[in-house]
């Protein structure tokens, strides 16, 4: 069994260990300058070791395991799904923008849309009139909405 430490990124054995944090010497200096707080600060973080790969420059903590092929596949798949979802969203936005610009620049299509809104407003006003016969308050509300829609078609 191989007991040698390898870089989890490139699998190289060319590594070096660096201590990170305060050391005992820094704790003594801290104690002289600030008292007990300096000793405490020197003790915290003195055991943190960071390993640096000399081949690729990757830094990791001891005991960090290399990503398995299955984990890497799932990570890459999740990233690909995010990218694809963003592309689909952008494509949908571009299609909607293109359709809106086409509608605005084409007077015939604009006229068709306006006619459809006018027909819908007419049906709503008619439904409001029928409802007014049955129930006057509701009929006014529906006819008012139809009239607003009719006016909005010309704005």
Output the tens digit of pLDDT for each of the chain's 155 residues: 456 777 878 888 888 887 765 556 666 666 655 655 555 555 555 567 788 888 988 887 776 566 677 888 898 999 999 999 999 999 999 999 888 888 777 777 777 878 888 888 888 888 877 777 776 666 667 777 777 777 777 66
pLDDT score at 77: 93
- The count of other CB atoms within 10 Å of the CB of residue 146 is 20
Angle between the N-to-C axes of helices 69-105 and 107-134, in degrees from 0 to 180, rounded to the nearest 10: 90
Q: In what order do the strands lie in the sheet with 15-20?
A: 15-20, 48-53, 59-60
Give CA–CA dist 142/108, Å, rounded. Answer: 30
The end-to-end CA distance of the chain, in Å, is 80
d(CA 79, CA 12): 26
The pLDDT assigned to 37 comes to: 55
3-class SS of residue 17:
strand
């Amino acid at each position: 069994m191989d007991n040698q430490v390898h870089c989890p990124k490139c699998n190289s054995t060319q590594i070096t260990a660096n201590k990170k944090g305060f050391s005992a010497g820094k704790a003594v200096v801290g104690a002289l300058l600030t008292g007990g707080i300096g000793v405490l600060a020197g003790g915290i973080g003195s055991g943190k070791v960071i390993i640096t790969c000399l081949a690729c420059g990757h830094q990791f903590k001891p005991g960090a395991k290399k990503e398995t092929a299955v984990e890497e596949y799932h990570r890459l798949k999740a990233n690909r799904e995010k990218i694809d979802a963003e592309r689909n969203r952008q494509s949908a936005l571009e299609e909607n923008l293109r359709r809106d610009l086409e509608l605005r620049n084409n007077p015939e299509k604009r006229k068709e849309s306006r006619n459809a809104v006018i027909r819908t407003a007419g049906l709503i006003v008619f439904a409001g009139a029928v409802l007014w016969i049955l129930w006057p308050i509701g009929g006014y509300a529906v006819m008012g909405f139809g009239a607003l829609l009719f006016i909005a078609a010309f704005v």
